[in-house]
Amino acid sequence: MTVMTALRVKGLDRRTLDRLAGWLAVGVAVSLPWSSSATSILLALWLLAVLATLDLGALRREFLSAAGGLPVLLWLLALAGMLWADVTWSERYGGLSGFNRLLVIPLLLTQFRKSGHGMRVFAGFLISVTIVSLASWMLVSFPGLLWHPRLPGVPVKDYIIQSEEFLICAFGLLGVALAEYRAGRWRSIVWIVALAVLFLADIFFVTTGRTTLLVAPPLLLLLGWRQMGLKGLIGAAAAGCIVGGAIWIGSPALRANLEKSATELESYEANDANNSTGMHLEFLKKSLSFVATAPVVGHGTGSITEQFRNAAAAGGGSASVVPVNPHNQIFAVAIQLGALGTVVLLAMWAAHLLLFRGAGIVDWIGLVIVVQNVVASLFNSHLFDFTQGWLYVFGVGVAGGMVLRERDLARSALR
């Protein structure tokens, strides 16, 4: 008995299951900022509902597209990479787990190419992140009122995840505000901009993530270019310099964070294990040497930790640290799958950027998610991180499906 037949026996028809799958996707988006355990449970339930209503012809179409097929190709390379990895099978399976979520992208593209729940997913995520932001401000304003987080202003998870979620929501809202401005809908602009400012203020004055600070300028320039071309690009750069200067003056947290990075960079040669900037540089330097010894197909899936373990220096310090990833997505793939895997990774990112080449607001949301991941992945292995990885997969899958749905409807209208 198939899953679909079993569910029909229980009185669930295809339309009900489609609706259930849509709301479970909303549940995943709502839970993502808060709980990895809840997200995992909802992901499993969502997957069951989607598989029960799967249209194999529609799924095949997404597999054959660049946006849906390249993530699967990267996973297949990682699966094959297990064969030549010189590590235990447990480590090989652990390495493959980082690639597994990429298989969900074509499923999401298929689902939301026919579903009308896409905007509810993004609305659920925005509402959930807004509640995180309000809790963050409350913890800063009234210390000890609710609970004692590990870091001030970070109610759940960590400041890196929180600031990246805030940045995505802020720039998504700014794109919506500009669309509302062009449409002449003035009443909604005030609260949209106010909410975006709330997110940005938390990033710059409460929980300043250094990666987020590096992602913000490209998104600002992209927003300006998308609105007015070269004039918008120049205007965005000028506005960024003015606002950035004001924030630098008014935010002690921002200054302390950046000054700490500069100090760590200057003292890198001290080989201090507590120097996070120095450790990142050490990881990148070693990663280059790993890639050089197996440039074409890499050392195999799951080999990252073993490579760092073999290269660890005695005597302590950053050179003796053995990380589980090199804190760079390109190197995380290149060490395991070489140039072959790296080309597929870059092609996947390019395909997802091209998927959102339109002028609509959903295109902008998808573009923000992809650009944020690409830039942040220069300093982290975000596709392999739980929250950031699922944020990318669901963001691209849902927004991509919505964009494809709009294009299908537009083509139908022309016939």
Looking at residue 183, its amino acid is: A
- Dump the DSSP string for 160-176: HHHHHHHHHHHHHHHHH
Residue ending a domain, among 15, 34, 54, is 54
| Contacts of 174-180 spanning 24+ positions with Cβ under 8 A | 174/223, 175/223, 175/226, 175/361, 175/364, 175/365, 175/368, 176/361, 176/364, 178/223, 178/227, 179/361
**Do 367 and 390 belong together in one domain?**
yes
Q: Is 147 exposed, middle or buried (0-12, 13-18, 19+ CB in 10 A)?
A: exposed
pLDDT tens digits, one per residue of 69-127: 999 999 999 999 999 999 999 999 999 999 999 999 999 999 999 988 889 999 999 99
Pick from 30, 217, 204: nearest CA to 130: 30
DSSP 327: S
**What integer pLDDT is reported at residue 269 of this predicted model?**
55
Residue ending a domain, among 10, 33, 54, is 54
Looking at residue 97, its amino acid is: S
Scanning the structure block, which residue is given the tokens 């760079």?
328
- What is this structure's pTM? 0.90
- Which tokens sit at 361? 């607001």
Residue with the larger pLDDT of the pair 230 and 41: 41
* Band (270; pLDDT cuts 50, 70, 90): very low
**Percentage of the chain surpassing pLDDT 90?**
53
Residue ending a domain, among 36, 54, 72, is 54
**Do 207 and 259 belong together in one domain?**
yes
Residue with the larger pLDDT of the pair 388 and 5: 388
**Do 68 and 175 belong together in one domain?**
yes
- Dump the DSSP string for 89-151: HHHHHHHHHHHHGGGHHHHHHHHHHH-S-HHHHHHHHHHHHHHHHHHHHHHHHSTTSS---SS
**Do 92 and 223 belong together in one domain?**
yes
**Do 11 and 83 belong together in one domain?**
no
Instruction: Measure the CA–CA gap between 241 and 254, rounded to whole angstroms.
Output: 15
Instruction: Measure the CA–CA gap between 338 and 340, rounded to whole angstroms.
Output: 5
**Do 66 and 1 belong together in one domain?**
no
Pick from 262, 259, 260, 247: nearest CA to 203: 247
What are the backbone angles phi and psi of residue 359, rounded to the nearest 5°? -100, 0
**Do 74 and 20 belong together in one domain?**
no
Apex 194 CA angle, 188 and 199, nearest 5:
130
**Do 63 and 2 belong together in one domain?**
no
Question: 369 with 121: CB under 8 angstroms?
Answer: no
Residues 6+ apart with CB under 8 A from 288: 331
Instruction: Measure the CA–CA gap between 58 and 309, rounded to whole angstroms.
Output: 45
- Which tokens sit at 241? 């310099």
Instruction: Measure the CA–CA gap between 413 and 12, rounded to whole angstroms.
Output: 32
How many domains is the chain partitioned into structurally?
Answer: 2
**What integer pLDDT is reported at residue 354 of this predicted model?**
96
**Do 325 and 371 belong together in one domain?**
yes
Residues 6+ apart with CB under 8 A from 353: 367, 370, 371, 374
Residue 162: give the domain boundaries.
55-414
* Band (207; pLDDT cuts 50, 70, 90): confident
- Which tokens sit at 347? 């092609």
Mean pLDDT of the chain: 86
Instruction: Measure the CA–CA gap between 347 and 65, rounded to whole angstroms.
Output: 12
**Do 103 and 28 belong together in one domain?**
no
**What integer pLDDT is reported at residue 141 of this predicted model?**
81
**Do 80 and 49 belong together in one domain?**
no
Instruction: Measure the CA–CA gap between 129 and 390, rounded to whole angstroms.
Output: 15
**Do 48 and 168 belong together in one domain?**
no
